[in-house]
Amino acid sequence: MVPSLALLASPLLGAAVWAPVARVLADHGWHTMICVAAPPIRTGQDALDAFVATLPTEQDLVVVPHSNAGVYVPELVMQRRVVGAVFVDAVLPPGRGYVPLAPPAFLDLLGEKVDDDGLLPVWTSWWDEVDVMELFPDARTRARVEVEQQQLPLSYFESVLPIPQGWDDIPGAYLAFGDTYAAERDRAVQRRWPVSTLSGGHLHMLIDPEKVAAELVALIRGLGFDSLTS
């Protein structure tokens, strides 16, 4: 089976976070698309609708969500021809029930940043500058990513999404960047999914796109899929 790869960007960010990896994958014969939740996004349903609208209806897809985009995979499995998923430093939803758009402990931090209109600042403003600088290989890349950021309301993160039962019957894998999503990685191990870890920050795909692409290809092939040129 030769599926297309759908790289899903967090609704907080945009296509620039995946662009270097997408180029590498395309150069190696993978049909690759970058999917974003185009603004305005105010609710989880808005983001889900935006993702669904970007995904083709007549192609087999391996979805590759990053960060908060992971919460949308269960419903995408139901609405599109998703045959596999590789979560990349991303939220990994449970097999049933509900998934919060932010963990409860994180909501306290976000609540300190919200403005009078209920909006949060853009994502790179959430963190100390010294930490943000390390996420990017250079100022030009940072500028490309930052210009695509969108402000989301705090209410977005206070909501939950229902999980359709059976979504994780598809083959899955997990690629972590360091230990930020260690709990998610552990759950992937418990599901007996292929798991890999690269040492790096949350946007490591910008720092070393070749290595990230190679790890993705290894995991995707481990799920039984291959590229157009293999």
pLDDT at 110: 96
For residue 229, being part of any structural domain is answered with: no
Helices (H) then strands (E): counts for the chain: 10, 8
Distance, CA of 85 to CA of 170 (rounded, Å):
8
pLDDT at 194: 98
Q: Which domain holds residue 139?
A: 4-222
pLDDT at 3: 96
Q: Flag residues of the chain having pLDDT under 70.
A: 1, 230
pLDDT at 228: 77
For residue 200, being part of any structural domain is answered with: yes
For residue 135, being part of any structural domain is answered with: yes
Q: How many domains does the chain have?
A: 1
pLDDT at 230: 64
For residue 25, being part of any structural domain is answered with: yes
Which residues are CB-neighbours of 166 under 8 A, at least 6 positions away? none
For residue 51, being part of any structural domain is answered with: yes
- Cα dihedral: 112, 156, 37, 210 (round 10): 50
Which residue bears the tokens 């960060």? 67
Alpha helical stretches, state H, 62-162 = 73-79, 104-111, 129-133, 139-147, 154-157
Q: What is the pTM of this model?
A: 0.97
For residue 227, being part of any structural domain is answered with: no
Residue 92: give its domain's CATH number.
3.40.50.1820
Outline where DSSP puts E strands in 82-228: 82-90, 97-100, 160-163, 172-177, 195-198
